[in-house]
């Protein structure tokens, strides 16, 4: 692996830079006069009561496929 031993240097360079850029780009969209009651009234209602656990099914399938692939590779 050409990147062995580069975890911390890459982590230190990318994570703070990403956080600073997300803050800098999102800061102009945040207003001080934002009324949370008006904002929450304008949001659509949650679909969780109608669909329940089925909303998490794609994530569960993805996790199962990833674990299954890893076990298959280890056994071979």
pLDDT above 70 (res 32): yes
Would you list the DSSP string of 38-55? HHHHHSPPPSHHHHGGGG
Q: How many helices (H) and strands (E) does the chain have?
A: 4, 0
| Percentage of the residues of the chain whose pLDDT score is greater than 90 | 53
State the pLDDT at residue 68.
Answer: 87
Instruction: Find tokens 């329940």 and name the residue.
Output: 52
pLDDT above 70 (res 74): no
Mean pLDDT for all residues in the chain = 87
**Residues counted in the chain:** 76
Can you tell me the distance from the alpha carbon of 13 to that of 6, in angstroms, rounded to the nearest whole number? 11
pTM: 0.43
Task: Give the CA angle between residues 52, 54, 57 to the nearest 5°.
Answer: 140
């Amino acid at each position: 692996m050409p990147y062995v031993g580069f975890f911390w240097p890459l982590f230190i360079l990318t994570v703070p830079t990403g956080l600073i850029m997300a803050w800098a780009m999102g800061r102009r969209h945040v207003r001080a006069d934002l009324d949370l009651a008006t904002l929450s009234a304008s949001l659509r209602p949650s679909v969780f009561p109608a669909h329940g656990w089925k909303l998490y099914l794609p994530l569960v399938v993805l996790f199962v496929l990833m674990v299954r692939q890893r076990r298959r590779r280890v056994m071979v």
